[in-house]
Amino acid sequence: MMRLAKLPALPDAAGTYRWFYADVTAGPYSAVCIFMLGSLFSPRYSVAARRGGRPLEHSAVNFALYHAGVRRLWVLSEYARAELDAPGRLRIGRSTLSYEGDGTVRMAVDDGTAPWGRPVRASLTLEPMTPVGEVVQLMPGLPHYWQALAPRSQARLEVSSLGIEASGLGYHDTNHGGELLGARLSGWHWARTHREDETVVDYHLPEGVAPLRVVAGARGVRCERGPTLVESRPTHITGWGLRVPSRLHAGNVVVGQPKLLESSPFYARLEARQGPLDSLGEVADFRRFHSPFIRWMAHFRTRMGRAA
């Protein structure tokens, strides 16, 4: 089985980015962790990139913990540097992402909540059950790419600052691009659904581009670009004016009406569970983020961290 033993190439040029995303579903808990280079959530990088600012100068760690659909912890700390401090290990602040020789993925968060800095120590450990997926271009002609690195994993969640230890299923991927999101790619929405025997990820793109689907299970990982949806699916507007799905789907299977885990003017995170089905989805409108007013608001969800 092909597993990741080292980090993919890190971005360097102004406006480029890469992030490493993981989520874990464990009993009543859900957790999301993202290590970002050229931070998606950084109002500072949105401005600095146009002036030659480099992505590693705007690195960030995001960790969110939810219990029964309600947020318990939120970490979003931006740092002026990131480094490879060992083969296969990325460090941002005191937090690390590492790929081990047996394929295990570990994200260890040692940081503070935004904005007040309450200490948080947590870890996500994923043992892949499937091979690595292929790198796919999200939109024809645009330099934005996605790869499912460990789309279905046995996972362990530990939050020592709250005394939580739980096991379940995990998912891990990476996105990278050669220009700022929102420059030409206006947004997307996607959802990851764990079924009893496989994990399905549906990636929906703007401008009538056919959606992408990854299916990971006992027969490996396959990626395909499906037909454009013939009929529109119901949506609604959040309190911030962002349009989000009224139901989360795995293909044509309705998982259910989602809970809104995170809501902002340009980004939302949603979750739906029904029997053995567990879906976690995100909606992003990147052009909204580049509005000066929304960039100003984003400062209140982020704290500037200091290197270890």
**Is 253 a residue whose pLDDT tops 90?**
no
Q: CA geometry: angle at 187 spanning 198 and 204, to 5°?
A: 30
Average pLDDT on 126-139 reads 95
Q: Are 106 and 124 in contact (CB under 8 A)?
A: yes
Question: What whole-number percentage of the chain has pLDDT above 70?
Answer: 91
CA distance 264 to 43: 14
Q: Give the pLDDT band of residue 261 (cuts 50, 70, 90).
A: very high
Q: Are 8 and 84 in contact (CB under 8 A)?
A: no
Average pLDDT on 160-185 reads 95
CA distance 305 to 94: 10
Considering only residues 135 and 232, tell me which one the structure prediction assigns the higher pLDDT.
135
Considering only residues 18 and 42, tell me which one the structure prediction assigns the higher pLDDT.
18
CA 154 to each of CA 69, 75, 257: distance values in angstroms, whole numbers, following the listed order = 21, 24, 26
* 187-202 confidence digits (pLDDT tens): 999 999 999 999 999 9
Q: Are 137 and 145 in contact (CB under 8 A)?
A: yes
Average pLDDT on 121-148 reads 96
**Is 301 a residue whose pLDDT tops 70?**
no
Q: Are 4 and 105 in contact (CB under 8 A)?
A: yes
pLDDT value of position 118: 94
**Is 245 a residue whose pLDDT tops 90?**
yes
CA distance 72 to 32: 12
Helix (H) / strand (E) element for 216: namely strand 212-217
Q: Within 10 Å of residue 163's Cβ, how many Cβ atoms?
A: 7
Q: Give the pLDDT band of residue 293 (cuts 50, 70, 90).
A: low
- The pTM score is 0.94
pLDDT value of position 125: 98
**Residue 35 burial (10 A CB sphere; 0-12, 13-18, 19+):** buried
pLDDT value of position 153: 97
Q: Half-sphere exposure of 142 toward its Cβ, with a 13 Å CA cutoff? A: 21
**Is 154 a residue whose pLDDT tops 70?**
yes
**Is 308 a residue whose pLDDT tops 60?**
no
Query: What mean pLDDT, rounded, does the chain reach?
Result: 90
pLDDT value of position 48: 75
pLDDT value of position 291: 67
pLDDT value of position 53: 86
**Is 223 a residue whose pLDDT tops 70?**
yes
Among residues 79, 75, 97, 25, the alpha carbon closest in space to that of 262 is found at 75
**Both tokens of residue 179?**
């220009």
The number of residues in the chain equals: 308
Question: What whole-number percentage of the chain has pLDDT above 90?
Answer: 70
3-state secondary structure 31-77: EEEEEEECCCCCHHHHHHHHHCCCHHHHEEEEEEEEECCEEEEEEEE
207 three-state secondary structure: coil
Residue 299 has phi, psi (to 5 degrees) of -60, -30
**Both tokens of residue 236?**
């609604």
Q: CA geometry: angle at 75 spanning 118 and 96, to 5°?
A: 105
* 28-45 confidence digits (pLDDT tens): 999 999 999 998 777 777
**Both tokens of residue 135?**
């790198």
